[in-house]
Amino acid sequence: MDPEIKPNSVYTTNETKKILKISDSTIKRLLKKGIIKANKVGGQYRILGKEILRLVSPKAERKAVSAYQKLKKKTKDKIKKW
């Protein structure tokens, strides 16, 4: 059974490699090119689950961005009316 990726959980590079089923060189390349955003803590990378989800599901990210943009516009319009 594949592990469930929790958006707000923090994963190590080894955990991320196992989830994505990729090699050491591939995870290093993804981090170096900024394809996966990560924070370095104590010399090791930490990756948020939402970064992993974004990588495997760009369609989900587009939907989230679209929903955010609509909400932002609605909020701006409401503030202008005040």
Tens-place pLDDT, residues 52-74:
988 887 776 677 677 778 888 88
**Residue spans per domain, the chain:** 10-81
- DSSP helix/strand/coil, 80: helix
Of 15-19, 38-42, 65-69, 75-79, which gets the smallest average pLDDT?
A: 65-69
Residue 60's pLDDT is 64
**Mean pLDDT across 14-27:** 93
pTM beyond 0.85: the answer is: no
What's the mean per-residue pLDDT of the chain? Answer: 87
Cα–Cα distance for residue pair 47/44, rounded to 1 Å: 10
- DSSP helix/strand/coil, 10: strand
What CATH architecture applies to the domain 10-81? Orthogonal Bundle (1.10)
